C-alpha cells in the first residue's frame, strides 16, 4: 500500500488508510491526511479490461455536470504525481478520487422520503446529462446492459456449471424460466439511448450525515454507458422498494409499495419533458426486468462457483438470487407489469 500511496503523496507514511468493505468488484479504501480525505480503489481489471475508459467517462461526465447547474457533489479523479489518472503497479491498477465530506451511505432504505430524495437526485443527474452526446461515452464493460447476452451466459452456465449447485437452485431456476418471456418482451422495445449510470443501487447514493433525506451525491461512475435510462430506475426500485439487504433471503415484509411509488415520482420529477411516452409506458416492465436480470447474474455466478461477485459466506450468491426473486414476487402482487 505504501508503494501505491507514494505515487500520490510526498509523505505516504502520514496517510491513514481505512478499508471500506463495500462493493462486489473493486477494492476500496478511504484515505485521510490531516483534514483531507480521498477514496483510493484497486480496479478489478479481470472485469474492467480497459480502466482508461472508466476514467475518460468520469472526466467527460464531471466536466459536463460542472458546466451546468448540477447541485450535487461531483467526483474528481485525482492524478498521481506523474499527472496520470491511473497508477499501474506490480500488475495492479489504482485510481484515486475526491471524497464527499459529511456524507454517509446506506444499504437499506430508511423511509419513503429518502427513496423520493434519491430518485429526484438521479432524475436531476439525468436531466443535466441529457444534452451530453452519447458518442462521448464508451462502455467500460462491453455488453454490460446487453440482456440477451446475460440470458445466454446464464443458459451456458446451466449446461457447464456445478451440477450440485444447479440442483440446489432448482426452484430459482424454475422461477426465472417462468418469467423469461418478460425479458423477450423488453428486448422488443426500442429505447432512446441516453447516458446511464448503470449501478443506481442504494449504496451508491451519498446522503448528508446530518440529514438522511438530503442527497449529497451519486458515486460509482464506473459503469456509466449509453443505453436505456430506465435501467437506473430499475436499480433504484431493486434497492429502495426492497426492505431487506441484498443478500437477505427472508421473504417476510420485504417490500414497500410506498417506496416503489416514491421512487417513481422522484425519478420522473426532473424528467417530465424528456422521457418519451414509450419510456413512461415501459417503466414498470423495465424495473421488473432489471431485477430479474440481477437475479440471473447472481444465479449464474452461484452455479459457476462464485467467480465474479465477491462473496464472504457460503451460498451468498444463492441468497442474493432469492432476495431478488422475493422482491419480484412482491412486485408481481402489487404492480401490473404488462
Ligand atoms: C456490482 O461492485 P459493485 O458493488 O459496485 C455490479 C453491479 C451489480 C451490483 C449488485 C461491474 O457492483 O452491476 O448490480 O454489484 N458491478 C459490476 O449489487 O458488475
Ligand atoms: Mg458498481
Atom 5 in ligand 1: residue holding the nearest Cα: 23
Closest-CA residue to 50 (of 147, 138, 150)? 138
Shared-domain flag, residues 67 and 171: no
Q: Which residues contact ligand 1 via a Cβ below 6 A? A: 23-25, 47, 199, 201, 220, 223, 246, 294
Q: What is the pLDDT of residues 212-239, one digit of tens each?
A: 999 999 999 999 999 999 999 999 999 9
Shared-domain flag, residues 44 and 191: no
Shared-domain flag, residues 126 and 76: no
What is the C-alpha to C-alpha distance for residues 239 and 243, in angstroms, rounded to an integer? 8
Shared-domain flag, residues 216 and 90: no
Closest-CA residue to 293 (of 252, 256, 257, 327)? 327
Residue 338 has pLDDT above 80, yes or no: no
Q: What is the pLDDT of residues 274-309, one digit of tens each?
A: 999 999 999 999 999 999 999 999 999 999 999 999
Shared-domain flag, residues 244 and 132: yes
In the chain, what percentage of residues exceed pLDDT 70?
100
> Is position 153 within any domain?
yes
Residue 126 has pLDDT above 90, yes or no: yes
> Is position 125 within any domain?
yes
Shared-domain flag, residues 67 and 117: no
> Is position 196 within any domain?
yes
Amino acid 22: pLDDT = 85
- Ligand 2 (single-atom ion) residues, CB below 5 Å: 199, 220
Predicted ipTM beyond 0.95: yes
Domain that holds residue 133: 112-334
Q: How far is the CA of 106 from the centre of ligand 2 (A)?
A: 15
Query: How many folded domains does the chain comprise?
Result: 2
Atom 19 in ligand 1: residue holding the nearest Cα: 25
Q: How far is the CA of 93 from the centre of ligand 2 (A)?
A: 17
Amino acid 38: pLDDT = 98
Shared-domain flag, residues 138 and 54: no
Shared-domain flag, residues 203 and 64: no
> Is position 106 within any domain?
no
> Is position 107 within any domain?
no
Shared-domain flag, residues 259 and 322: yes
Average pLDDT over all residues of the chain: 97
Q: How far is the CA of 322 from the centre of ligand 1 (A)?
A: 17
- Domain-ending residue, one of 75, 99, 123: 99
> Is position 104 within any domain?
no
- Domain-ending residue, one of 99, 124, 142: 99
Q: What is the pLDDT of residues 240-267, one digit of tens each?
A: 999 999 999 999 999 999 999 999 999 9
Residue 145 has pLDDT above 90, yes or no: yes
- Strand 92-98 and strand 103-104: the pairing is unpaired
Q: How far is the CA of 323 from the centre of ligand 1 (A)?
A: 15
Amino acid 2: pLDDT = 87
Residue 1 has pLDDT above 90, yes or no: no
What is the C-alpha to C-alpha distance for residues 204 and 250, in angstroms, rounded to an integer? 23
Shared-domain flag, residues 168 and 87: no
Number of the ligand 1 atom closest to the C-alpha atom of 298:
10
Hey, which of 75, 95, 150, 201 would you mutate to test ligand 1's pocket, going by the most ligand atoms within 8 Å of its Cβ? 201
Atom 8 in ligand 1: residue holding the nearest Cα: 199
Hey, which of 20, 21, 25 would you mutate to test ligand 1's pocket, going by the most ligand atoms within 8 Å of its Cβ? 25
Q: What is the pLDDT of residues 67-122, one digit of tens each?
A: 999 999 999 999 999 999 999 999 999 999 999 999 999 999 999 999 999 999 99
Three cell numbers, residue 183 = 425479458
CATH number at residue 37: 3.30.200.20
Residue 39 has pLDDT above 90, yes or no: yes
User: b vs e for 11-42, b when ≥16 Cβ sit within 10 Å of the residue's Cβ?
Assistant: ebeebeeeeeeebbbbbbbebebeeeebbbbb
Ligand nearest to the Cα of 24, by number: 1
CATH number at residue 229: 3.90.1200.10
Q: How far is the CA of 25 from the centre of ligand 1 (A)?
A: 7
Shared-domain flag, residues 28 and 172: no
Shared-domain flag, residues 6 and 147: no
What is the C-alpha to C-alpha distance for residues 128 and 71, in angstroms, rounded to an integer? 10
Average pLDDT of the segment spanning 115-141: 98
Amino acid at each position: 500500500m505504501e508503494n501505491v500511496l507514494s505515487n500520490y503523496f510526498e509523505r505516504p507514511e502520514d496517510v491513514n488508510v481505512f478499508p471500506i468493505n463495500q462493493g462486489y468488484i473493486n477494492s476500496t479504501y478511504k484515505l485521510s491526511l490531516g483534514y483531507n480525505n480521498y477514496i483510493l480503489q484497486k480496479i478489478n481489471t479481470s472485469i474492467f479490461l480497459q480502466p482508461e475508459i472508466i476514467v475518460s467517462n468520469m472526466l467527460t461526465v464531471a466536466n459536463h455536470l460542472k458546466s451546468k447547474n448540477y447541485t450535487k457533489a461531483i467526483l474528481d479523479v485525482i492524478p498521481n504525481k506523474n499527472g496520470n489518472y491511473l497508477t499501474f503497479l506490480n500488475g495492479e491498477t489504482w485510481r484515486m478520487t475526491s471524497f464527499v465530506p459529511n456524507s454517509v451511505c446506506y444499504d437499506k432504505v430508511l423511509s419513503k422520503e429518502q427513496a423520493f430524495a434519491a430518485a429526484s437526485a438521479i432524475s436531476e443527474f439525468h436531466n443535466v446529462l441529457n444534452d451530453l452526446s452519447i458518442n462521448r461515452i464508451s462502455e467500460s464493460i462491453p455488453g454490460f446492459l446487453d440482456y440477451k447476452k446475460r440470458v445466454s451466459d446464464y443458459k451456458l452456465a446451466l449446461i457447464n456449471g456445478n451440477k450440485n449447485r444447479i440442483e440446489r437452485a432448482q426452484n430459482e431456476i424454475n422461477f426465472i424460466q417462468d418469467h423469461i418471456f418478460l425479458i423477450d418482451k423488453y428486448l422488443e422495445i426500442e429505447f432512446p439511448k441516453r447516458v446511464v449510470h448503470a449501478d443506481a443501487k442504494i449504496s451508491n447514493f451519498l446522503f448528508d450525515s446530518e440529514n438522511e433525506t438530503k442527497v449529497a451525491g451519486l458515486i460509482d461512475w464506473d459503469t456509466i454507458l449509453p443505453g436505456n435510462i430506465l435501467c437506473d430506475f430499475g436499480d433504484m426500485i431493486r434497492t429502495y422498494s426492497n426492505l431487506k439487504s441484498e443478500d437477505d433471503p427472508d421473504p417476510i415484509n420485504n417490500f414497500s409499495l410506498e417506496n416503489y411509488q416514491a421512487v417513481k415520482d422522484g425519478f420522473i420529477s426532473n424528467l417530465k419533458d424528456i422521457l418519451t411516452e414509450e419510456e413512461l409506458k415501459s417503466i414498470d416492465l423495465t424495473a421488473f426486468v432489471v431485477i430479474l436480470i440481477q437475479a440471473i447474474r447472481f444465479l449464474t455466478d452461484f452455479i459457476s462457483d462464485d467467480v465474479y461477485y465477491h462473496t464472504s459466506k457460503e451460498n451468498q450468491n444463492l441468497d442474493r438470487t432469492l432476495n431478488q426473486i422475493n422482491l419480484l414476487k412482491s412486485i408481481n402482487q402489487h404492480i401490473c407489469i404488462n
